[in-house]
A = this chain, B = another copy of it.
Amino acid sequence: MTKEELFRNIQTKKSYLCVGLDADLKKIPSHLLNTADPIFEFNKIIIDATADLCVAYKPNIAFYEALGPKGWESLEKTLQYIPEDIFTIADAKRGDIGNTSELYARTFFDYFNFDSVTVAPYMGEDSVKPFLIKPDKWVILLALTSNPGSQDFQLQTYNGEKNRYLFEAVIQKSQTWASPEQLMFVVGATRTDYLERVRALAPEHFLLVPGVGAQGGSLAEISRLGMNKQCGLLVNSARNIIYAGNGTDFGQQARLEAQRMQQEMERYLGEYLPV
Which residues of A are in contact with B by a Cβ distance under 8 Å? 60, 62-63, 65-66, 68-70, 72-73, 76, 93-98, 100-101, 103-104, 106-107, 111, 120-128, 142, 145-154, 156-160, 166, 169-170, 173
Q: What number of copies of this chain does the assembly contain?
A: 2
B66 touches A111 (CB 8 A): yes
- 12 example contacts (A-B, Cβ-Cβ < 8 A) are as follows A62-B103, A65-B107, A68-B72, A69-B76, A122-B142, A123-B147, A124-B148, A124-B149, A124-B153, A128-B149, A153-B170, A157-B159
A111 touches B153 (CB 8 A): no
Chain B residues positioned under 8 Å from A103 (CB to CB): 62-63, 65-66
A169 to B121, CA, bound (A): 16
| Shortest Cβ-Cβ A-B pairs, 8 listed | A124-B149, A124-B152, A69-B69, A62-B103, A69-B72, A126-B149, A97-B147, A125-B149
B124 touches A154 (CB 8 A): yes
* CB of A200, distance to nearest CB on chain B (Å): 20
B62 touches A104 (CB 8 A): yes
* CB of A178, distance to nearest CB on chain B (Å): 14
A148 to B126, CA, bound (A): 7
A156 touches B169 (CB 8 A): yes
B93 touches A146 (CB 8 A): no
A214 to B123, CA, bound (A): 18
Known: A120-B123, A157-B158. 10 other contacts (CB 8 A): A60-B96, A60-B100, A66-B111, A69-B76, A93-B120, A93-B123, A124-B150, A124-B154, A125-B152, A128-B149
